[in-house]
Chain A
Amino acid sequence: QSALTQPASVSGSPGQSITITCTGTSSDVGAYNYVSWCQQHPGKAPKLIIYDVSNRPSGVSNRFSGSKSGNTASLTISGLQAEDEADYYCSSFTISSTLVFGGGTKLTVL
């Protein structure tokens, strides 16, 4: 199972919005509405921020939103803040009943 494709890096200024894409295939992203996103700060464990394409766990800021179209899922962060600087990973459930991760995207807040 190949990793999902994410841009290696994105950047934005405080207050702006950015979008990170996650491209898969009809066997994973396109198969189900089971895409999730996690945030990882340097030296820390990942933290779930979006599940089932667009749902936020309790306590996650509503500045984070998710969507999906076909084989591509997206994470949008609005009102960018310095604390949002981190690595972001998408993941998707697959038709093989396993989970595949994206390669990760480093977000830099300028």
Chain B
Amino acid sequence: EVQLVQSGTEVKKPGESLKISCKGSAYSFTSYWIGWVRQMPGKGLELMGIIYPGDSDTRYSPSFQGQVTISADRSITTAYLQWSSLKASDTAMYYCARGTSLARYFDYWGQGTLVTVSS
């Protein structure tokens, strides 16, 4: 069964750095895109960016370009989302999801990682 398992809840202070993870299993990790999706409290879904672990091709949505870094380690079938300096406005649930054919849709989703940024 295809699974995406994300790292656990994080509580951080403004200005701190953070890297969250998403481990894929039971499928060819290098043959599908992984997307990161933000859901702020009580709000909708926003695509942050996608990565193709096969060749590390990474694309960011304009609103998130320069704000986060998406990466992947093929050897351990894990994708990452990282921040160098968190802001309170980064407080949200973050989902990773598996995308097909340039991520024109996401067919499997991780369980989500809740990130809370507060002083």
Enumerate chain A interface residues (CB-CB to B < 8 A).
1, 3, 32, 34, 36, 38, 45-48, 51-52, 57, 89, 91, 93, 97-104
Contacts and interface: CB of A to CB of B under 8 A. Distances in A.
B102 A93 contact: yes
A36 B61 CA distance: 18
Interface of B: 35, 37, 44-47, 50, 59, 61-62, 95, 97, 99, 102-112
A99 B44 contact: no
Given A101-B46, A103-B44, A57 B107 contact: yes
Contacts of A89: 44-45
Contacts of B61: 1, 98
Contact of A99 (B95, B104, B108, B109): B104
B106 A102 contact: no
B7 to A, nearest CB: 14
Given A34-B105, A57-B107, A91-B105, A1 B62 contact: yes
